[in-house]
Homo-oligomer: A and B are copies of this chain.
Amino acid sequence: MRTWPIIVAVLALSSLSREQEIAPPPGIEAKQALRLMPWPAGIELQAGSGPMVIDSSFSVLLPDHADHRLEKAAEIFLNDLRRHTGMLALDFHLSDRAPQTGTVLALASDRPAKQVQELGEDESYALKVTTSRAQLSAPTTLGIIRGLATFLQLVAITPQGFAVPSVNIKDQPRFPWRGLLVDSSRHFMPLEVIKRNLDGMAAVKLNVFHWHLSDYQGFRLESRRFPKLQELGSDGFYYTQDEVREIVQYAADRGIRVVPEFDMPGHSTSWFVGYPELASAPGPYSLERRWGVFDPAMDPSRESTYRFLDQFIGEVAKLFPDAFFHIGGDEVNGKQWDANPKIHEFMRAHGLNNNADLQAYFNTRLEKIVAKHGKVMEGWDEILRPDLPKNIVIQSWRGQQSLADAVRQGYRGLLSSGYYLDLMSPAAAHYAVDPLAGGAAGLPDADKKKILGGEACMWAEFVSPENVDSRIWPRLAAIAERLWSPEKVTDQESMYERLERINHWLDAYGLTHNTNYPLMLQRIGGSADASPLRVLTDIVEPSKGYSRSALSQEEPTAVTPLNRLVDAARPESATARRFSTLVEMLVSGRLKPGTEREIRDLLAEWKQNDEKVRPIAETSLLAADAIPLSESLATLASTGLEALDYLDRGERAPEAWKSRQLASVEQAFQPKSQLLVMVAPAIQKLVQVSAGEKPSELSIPKTAR
């Protein structure tokens, strides 16, 4: 007879009750099965009403005199529907006349959307689905685009074929600015990478693509006025103006604004390769290959700088129709300014007391240029100075407090702090960050309205076209939900359940976050069967935050191959999360039949895996990264099994054993090959509980944060 559940149950009483945390969110219970993300503002299932079947008889009904964008939206929807259902050759009916037979999705919008999509345009929609007919209504085409995204997520395979459940949805976004920044400078991202990610963005109702086009390491836009920008500043990897127009149109068709960023006056080495006269120190310059913050900065003291920028921004403003223009403005270390006597002289002459004043002067001049070309300036926290006009937008990498400060001064802002995808945080961490919480929580309602939303950031030091999708997806969908759904939609368990399904659903867009994972492992393993590598890699995660460089043997640069285990591993291990959940159930006395079996099976697999990994690691330099991790995993698995044995025997594990194991678990959790074995915290809990202790959370080691 097993007695240990009693011990565990007692322990559970004294531990923090997690019951409440993981209970389903209010109102979602019955609808849990729906694969919807972001969760709509209002949704009701029509009880008793059958689903609407989507087969070859399905058609989309356009209103009379549909505007061109609505028709385009319907075409994109039908194409996406073909991809999601695999009915690629189906010529679904698209018409402004009701069909004789078959199911129908009828679209109705009161007015066309703006010619160029605007911030704050109405995105609301209402969707009612019955067995034979669905009605999607919205004030504008933009709402129709959002409603079509919802409809598409509702299409699921059923015993009757593909079908949409009978639902009644009324939905609108919580924030008007919901974006993704893609850094095309540090690693160039080809057009198809951008397009498939725009598809994914539209699928989760994001509406701003923030395109980071220049930085120390590369200038990625073709300028016809200043061709040396791309000719000398890009290694040949840049977007032509035609390609930019293609992307802008592609995004617009999906209800996504494109905001370009040209980072100035710092982060600008790539400009200076072709135009050293813009810099604050004499050249020549070459493209930066390292990562970090560097000295080169534009010279704010020379009129020629502003003349150049006037012409450049004039050219770029025509390419990007959006009202906003991002000037970066972050991380100017001022060293080039300090070293330049002419700049000192200029500062004295203009009463500028320090570099911050000098940058403010630059920004003020820049703002006038940006405004002259019809754009509103946007920039990172650092640009905030009271002398700038109040219509500019502050993007905060510093956090809600910084944002609240901006808003109190009358500016509009959006949050990116907490949404950095390159830091390898779990989806739950991003999901828990609310633009209106923390330092912004106490703002009056009128000020809160000035917080426009947020943007996830995909900084590109450690991503290539091969693995960038795996850093963006599926976690971006959780951020998208935070920015679209009502404030009260915060349940983690529901989020993860839906995220897992959205994760695979997104494959239909050609996103490679799932498909490239086995391919990269296969390459690492060479001709060997890669499954043991996969068992291991399934439970590791890259070290967090900015720790990777410090953990690398050689300083990584722009040409460091991103083909290692750390590049293949996912930012968040679903298997480790599952294991933690199982162990949590066990240690909190909420065991279900099979829970212990599942834990034991996983531990047994991990314990045996090491001897399978070893021969692979011996034949491949890349797979050799797996050795220390695999050893750690085997050790952890043995420890876990021993702990379970104590629990099964109803025997309290001896102190000495416990201390030894806790030390060993901590050691196993140290980063190796820039990776973390993410099952260690759960193993620690097993050890603690088997020794009659209250389980505690093992934090990520300092070196890996």
Contacts and interface: CB of A to CB of B under 8 A. Distances in A.
A570 to B, nearest CB: 16
Contacts of A84: 523
Nearest to A84: B523
A161 interface: yes
Closest 9 CB pairs of A and B: A86-B563, A87-B561, A157-B526, A515-B515, A157-B620, A161-B621, A88-B464, A507-B519, A501-B527
A243 interface: no
B621 A158 contact: yes
A522 B563 CA distance: 27
Interface of A: 33, 35, 56, 84-91, 156-161, 187, 235, 464-466, 501, 504, 507-508, 514-515, 519-520, 522-527, 558-563, 567, 618-624
A269 to B, nearest CB: 17
Given A504-B522, A519-B515, A562 B86 contact: yes
Contact of A559 (B90, B520, B620, B621): B90
Contact of A88 (B89, B90, B91, B465): B465
Contacts of A86: 464, 466, 520, 523, 561-563, 567
B158 A619 contact: yes
Contacts of A466: 86, 88
Contacts of A157: 523-526, 619-623
| A88, A466, A618, A623 — most chain B CB neighbours (10 Å) | A88
A562 B89 CA distance: 8
Contact of A526 (B91, B156, B562): B156
Given A91-B235, A504-B519, A504-B522, 7 more contacts: A86-B464, A86-B466, A87-B561, A157-B523, A157-B620, A507-B519, A508-B519
Contacts of A514: 519
A84 B526 CA distance: 11
Contacts of A160: 621
Contact of A91 (B158, B161, B559): B559
Contacts of A87: 561, 563
A501 B529 CA distance: 10
A159 B85 contact: no
Contacts of A623: 157
Contact of A618 (B85, B89, B159, B523): B159
19 contacts: A35-B527, A86-B563, A86-B567, A87-B561, A87-B563, A88-B464, A88-B465, A88-B561, A89-B187, A89-B561, A90-B559, A156-B527, A157-B623, A158-B526, A159-B619, A159-B620, A161-B622, A515-B515, A515-B519
| A33, A89, A515 — most chain B CB neighbours (10 Å) | A89
Given A159-B620, A621-B157, A561 B527 contact: no
A561 B90 contact: yes
B159 A624 contact: yes
Nearest to A188: B89
A528 to B, nearest CB: 10
A158 B507 contact: no
A156 B466 CA distance: 19
A501 B530 CA distance: 12
Contacts of A562: 86, 88-89
Contacts of A525: 157
B523 A85 contact: yes
Nearest to A527: B501
B563 A85 contact: yes
A504 to B, nearest CB: 5
A244 to B, nearest CB: 20
Nearest to A56: B559
Nearest to A156: B526
A156 B86 CA distance: 36
Nearest to A523: B86
Contacts of A524: 157
Contacts of A620: 157-159
A143 B274 CA distance: 40
A157 to B, nearest CB: 4
A697 B286 CA distance: 69
Nearest to A512: B515
A64 B637 CA distance: 60
Nearest to A623: B157
Contacts of A621: 157-161
Contact of A89 (B515, B523, B526, B558): B558
A559 B619 contact: no
Contacts of A507: 519, 522
Contacts of A523: 84-86, 157, 508
A621 to B, nearest CB: 4
Contacts of A622: 157, 161
Contacts of A156: 526-527
Contacts of A33: 527
A84 B623 CA distance: 16
Nearest to A161: B621
Contacts of A526: 156-158
A490 B160 CA distance: 49
A645 B560 CA distance: 56
Contacts of A161: 621-622
A317 B523 CA distance: 43
A501 B523 CA distance: 11
Contacts of A563: 85-87
Contacts of A35: 527
A276 B559 CA distance: 60
Contacts of A515: 515, 519
A172 to B, nearest CB: 27
Contacts of A158: 526, 619-621
A87 B563 CA distance: 6
A177 B235 CA distance: 39
A521 to B, nearest CB: 11
A546 to B, nearest CB: 20
A71 to B, nearest CB: 14
Contacts of A91: 235, 559
Contacts of A90: 559, 561
Nearest to A618: B159
Nearest to A559: B89
A466 to B, nearest CB: 6
A353 to B, nearest CB: 42
| A160, A501, A508, A563 — most chain B CB neighbours (10 Å) | A563
Contacts of A527: 33, 35, 156, 501
A558 B89 CA distance: 7
